[in-house]
Amino acid sequence: MAKKQFKSESKRLLDLMINSIYTHKEIFLREIISNASDAIDKLCFISLTDDKVGLDRGDFKIVLKPDKESRTLTITDNGIGMNKDDLENNLGTIASSGSLKFKQSMEEKQDDIDIIGQFGVGFYSAFMVAKKITVNTKKYGEDTAYCWQSSGADGYTISEIEKENAGTEIILEIKDNTDDENYDEFLEQYRIQGLVKKYSDYIRYPIVMDMTKSRVKEETKDSDKPEYEDYTETVTLNSMIPLWQRRKKDVTQEEYDKFYSEKFMAMDKPLKTIVTSVEGVVTYKALLFIPSVAPYDYYTKEYKKGLQLYSSGVLIMDNCEELLPEHFRFVKGIVDSADLSLNISREMLQHDRHLITIAQNIEKKIKNELTSMLQNDRENYEKFFNAFGRQLKYGVVSDYGMHKEELQDLIMFYSSSEKKLVTLSEYVDRMKEDQKFIYFATGENAAAIDTLPQTELIRSKGYEILYCTEEIDEFTLQSLMTYKEKKFCSAMNDDLGIETEENKEDEENKDALLTFVKETLGDKVAEVTASKKLVSHPVCLTAKGGISFEMEKYFNSVQP
């Protein structure tokens, strides 16, 4: 039988794929199963109005059958099937422009083979693990069944076969192990089970496999030396209904908590579970969690931000960074949108209009949830803030202050008068009538700032002071510059703007005293001036030139 050639574009991609050293070979199974599920969707839809299909919703399934002896893995579905034209058009070419763009991006970035692994390119990905693929298929409503066969880039054949029912059977002849590549694993039941759980757990039809299990022989049950025997059990590998597809009122918090800890290997209980369902220009569902404690590696490079991205229940990406802004990188969760295609590369995804819209919505949603937590559940918000407040402050400072507006009402500082964390808005609401500035003071900890002479005058006026005890605090306020049109004022560095009554006699003696101190201290100080900040203390230190001692300490510590 004459071999037909793949259309040229497909051929290039095939070559590329087959010859790639691949870290994500395993995604072929996700691709094949997704296709089977799509095919079942189509026939299932027809069966709603056409009794001749003879199948009910519950009859549809995908069957996996690994066979070590023949080195084959067979994936069978009772979906719509394919006729000859379908085989030519669907398996003979990669027609979608998506694949084309993907290929172009690959040619520009030859060294980043990994991106195929992240996304797969549909049916063809099976050639990563199979030396030969046979597709036996019969289209619903037609009489002739066909067999499509190919060993890769050198083309394919199509012949007629006998097949009773509509549907498709895909037989993968698994490659032999090489020195550096293991293919045997794709014939192992437990490995296959693991792959289905990882990538295809939420496929809506059962994915079943006969699994060999071991049990104690009935007749040796009570003896000292129990004997074991193998038996076969048909196991449904997927759980089918994703938690995020269920309505919030039908799911208990325990179920969400369990999902959170299993999915993200987290030890804590989430502080907040956010469920959203959006329909419109883009349709998606999201299930998000705000952790109650920062993961141990949170403030290191090891920590990976991002949400899991699904397309109709099929995992596309484990950590989609594009979905979260840096200042909300603590959020964990998943997004599922049917508007995103499986066959999409990382490069394309970054520019995907849908994805950008989803990310914007999610950012707003998180902001609103945090705001409402701050207003209605202060205790939990403080817990949250202790874990991730630093992140929000970094957010204010970063990107040239681009996120100031968004974040300024979410950040908190320790207050001299309230003796707890307060927001800027609370501070401003409490400001005295004659008070010009929002005062802050910097120090190691609250106790140290409590005794700072520089803060005496401010305290004596009954004004509140925000304590900057972390490096980022002072940067944050400096970067904000103002809040509700009130300027920030450093107790240590700035003119406090507080009128004091001066004593004539003091004034006259001042110069002699200042000269005396300057001469005594010499080069140790730049300047000696009369301070208006003091009430009971005789002296205090002031940093010159806009940066405080604390900041200076910080800069010294980060210098190599």
The site for ligand ADP (CB under 6 A) is made up of 31, 35-36, 39, 77, 79-82, 90-91, 122-123, 168, 343
For ligand ADP, the closer CB: 39 or 468: 39
Shortest distance, position 75 Cβ to ligand ADP, whole Å: 8
The region of 16-24, 118-126, 140-148, 194-202 touching Mg ion under the rule CB under 5 A is 118-126
252-271 CB burial, b ≥16 within 10 A, e <16: eeeebbebbeeebebebbbb
CA angle 387, 388, 394 (to 5 degrees): 145
The runs of H, that is alpha helices, within 377-418 are 378-401, 404-407
According to CB under 5 A, which residues from 12 to 41 bind Mg ion?
35
Residue 395: contacted member of Mg ion, ligand ADP, none (CB under 5 to 8 Å, by partner type): none
Shortest distance, position 77 Cβ to ligand ADP, whole Å: 5
Distances (CA, A) of 368 to 112, 281, 323, 329, 372: 38, 21, 17, 16, 6
For ligand ADP, the closer CB: 312 or 408: 312
Shortest distance, position 128 Cβ to ligand ADP, whole Å: 13
Shortest distance, position 312 Cβ to ligand ADP, whole Å: 12
Q: Tell me the per-residue interface mask from 77 to 116 with Mg ion, x by CB under 5 A, - otherwise.
A: ----------------------------------------
User: Mind giving me the DSSP string for 219-284?
Assistant: GGTTSSS--EEEEEEEEE----S-GGGS-GGGS-HHHHHHHHHHHHT-SSPPSEEEEEEE-SSS-E
Shortest distance, position 395 Cβ to ligand ADP, whole Å: 38
Cβ atoms of 235 and 64 closer than 8 Å: no
For ligand ADP, the closer CB: 150 or 476: 150
Residue 82: contacted member of Mg ion, ligand ADP, none (CB under 5 to 8 Å, by partner type): ligand ADP
Q: Can you tell me the distance from the alpha carbon of 267 to that of 280, in angstroms, rounded to the nearest whole number?
A: 36
Shortest distance, position 21 Cβ to ligand ADP, whole Å: 22
Residue 277: contacted member of ligand ADP, Mg ion, none (CB under 5 to 8 Å, by partner type): none
In 10 A of CB 303, how many CB atoms? Answer: 13
Strands of 291-437, DSSP E: 307-311, 314-320, 332-336, 412-415, 421-423
For Mg ion, the closer CB: 202 or 467: 202
Shortest distance, position 32 Cβ to ligand ADP, whole Å: 7
Residue 548: contacted member of ligand ADP, Mg ion, none (CB under 5 to 8 Å, by partner type): none
SS3 60: coil
**Residue 122 interacts with Mg ion (CB under 5 A)?**
yes
Among residues 149, 132, 114, the alpha carbon closest in space to that of 183 is found at 132
Cβ atoms of 354 and 337 closer than 8 Å: yes
Shortest distance, position 109 Cβ to ligand ADP, whole Å: 22
For ligand ADP, the closer CB: 80 or 116: 80
Residue 77: contacted member of Mg ion, ligand ADP, none (CB under 5 to 8 Å, by partner type): ligand ADP
Helix (H) or strand (E) holding 116: helix 114-119
Two structure tokens written together for 421: 């964390």
Shortest distance, position 238 Cβ to ligand ADP, whole Å: 17
Cβ atoms of 133 and 127 closer than 8 Å: yes
For ligand ADP, the closer CB: 82 or 396: 82
Determine the residue with CB nearest ligand ADP.
Answer: 122
- Which residues contact Mg ion (rule: CB under 5 A)? 35, 122
